[in-house]
């Protein structure tokens, strides 16, 4: 069945303006243009639009979606299987959150005695969900599925005490970076300590055996160029913090190179 822009918009729930934009950037071109100037979409374009919407639901950017769909080795069946796995994971996460909220509500009503560990489980799942929604696509592309999944596994296995210890390391690292920035010297002992403590914090979340000073420095590069990380560190530490972290971690990584 063929669709005009208007009928495809009605079918998919995507606005005509969005479909026109997808056409403009080459993400979803019509099958043909009729004599009256109407853009006509066929089965192939409907299936492609479905893929676009599925990837958008996972938080991918349009340029990333275009690269995936345009790849010579793109396999629609495999992509759908991956979507299904992600959706099953989200379903499990949502079910856990529902159970946590139900238990919390019952506890507030006096019908259930909720253990502290149960409260913490709900918090961890919420944090994982938010991080996945905000950074999932980028970090999976950069570090790979296995590394990210291993990190999530470590977070889920953390006790409340270990989580609090991680939070203490994060706060200590940020305080040290703030002090090092005031000193204004990348090779200072304070800057070195800040990088070392930050590294301890990172290792609590990264897959075992994957940490190195070089990998840590590469993370610092991401802090400096990604506006979300820049905003976080500027809020926590001060203006220019992301660039300072990047440069301090680069100097810190050089010490490993000199020792090898």
- C-alpha closest to that of 136 among 81, 58, 240: 58
Least confident of 11-20, 80-89, 113-122, 234-243: 113-122
Using CA atoms, how far apart are residues 12 and 37, in angstroms rounded to an integer? 21
* Residue range(s) in the chain whose domain bears CATH number 1.10.1660.10: 5-70
145 CB-contact burial (10 Å; exposed 0-12 / middle 13-18 / buried 19+): exposed
Which neighbouring-strand residues pair with 41? 3
Which pLDDT does position 115 carry in this prediction? 67
Using CA atoms, how far apart are residues 216 and 212, in angstroms rounded to an integer? 6
Query: Helix axis angle, 213-225 relative to 189-203, nearest 10°?
Result: 100
Confidence of residue 141 (pLDDT cuts 50, 70, 90): confident
Tens digit of pLDDT for each residue in 189-200?
999 999 999 999
More confident residue, 121 or 85: 85
More confident residue, 27 or 109: 27
* Residue range(s) in the chain whose domain bears CATH number 1.10.490: 160-259
pTM of the model: 0.52
pLDDT at 58 over 90: no
Q: What phi-psi label fits residue 64: left (phi over 0), alpha (psi between -120 and 50 degrees) or beta?
A: alpha
CA-based torsion, 108, 111, 113, 119: positive or negative: negative
Q: What phi-psi label fits residue 71: left (phi over 0), alpha (psi between -120 and 50 degrees) or beta?
A: beta
Percent with pLDDT over 90 in the chain: 43
Would you say 65 and 26 are in contact if contact means Cβ atoms under 8 Å apart?
A: no
Tens digit of pLDDT for each residue in 76-115?
788 778 878 878 877 877 787 787 777 777 877 877 776 6
Average pLDDT, the chain: 85
Both structure tokens of 35: 């004599």
Which pLDDT does position 122 carry in this prediction? 65
Would you say 158 and 124 are in contact if contact means Cβ atoms under 8 Å apart?
A: yes
Would you say 220 and 250 are in contact if contact means Cβ atoms under 8 Å apart?
A: yes
Using CA atoms, how far apart are residues 76 and 231, in angstroms rounded to an integer? 37
Domain 160-259 top-level CATH class = mainly alpha
pLDDT at 259 over 60: no
Domain 5-70 top-level CATH class = mainly alpha
Would you say 223 and 233 are in contact if contact means Cβ atoms under 8 Å apart?
A: yes
Residues in the chain: 260
CB under 8 A, 24+ apart: contacts of 159-163: 160/116, 160/117, 160/120, 162/204, 163/120, 163/124
């Amino acid at each position: 069945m063929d669709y005009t822009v208007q009928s495809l918009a009605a079918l998919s729930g995507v606005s005509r303006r969005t479909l026109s934009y997808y056409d403009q950037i080459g993400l979803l071109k019509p099958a043909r243009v009729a004599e009256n100037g109407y853009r006509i979409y066929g089965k192939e374009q409907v299936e492609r639009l479905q893929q676009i919407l599925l990837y958008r639901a996972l938080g991918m950017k349009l340029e990333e979606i275009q690269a995936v769909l345009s790849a010579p080795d793109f396999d629609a069946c495999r992509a759908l299987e991956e979507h299904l796995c992600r959706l099953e994971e989200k379903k499990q996460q949502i079910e856990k959150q529902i159970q946590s909220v139900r238990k919390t509500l019952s506890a507030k009503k006096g019908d259930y005695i909720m253990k502290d560990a149960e409260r913490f489980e709900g918090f961890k799942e919420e944090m994982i969900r938010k991080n996945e929604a905000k950074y999932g696509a980028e970090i999976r592309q950069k570090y790979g599925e296995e590394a990210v999944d291993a990190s999530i596994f470590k977070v889920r296995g953390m006790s409340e005490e270990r989580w609090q210890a991680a939070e203490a390391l994060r706060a200590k690292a940020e305080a040290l970076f703030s002090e090092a920035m005031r000193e204004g010297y990348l090779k200072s002992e304070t800057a070195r300590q800040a990088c070392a403590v930050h590294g301890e914090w990172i290792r609590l979340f990264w897959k075992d055996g994957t940490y190195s000073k070089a990998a840590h420095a590469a993370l610092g590069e991401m802090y400096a160029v990604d506006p979300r990380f820049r905003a976080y560190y500027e809020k926590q530490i001060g203006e220019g913090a992301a660039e300072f972290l990047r440069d301090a971690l680069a100097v810190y990584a050089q010490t490993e190179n000199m020792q090898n």
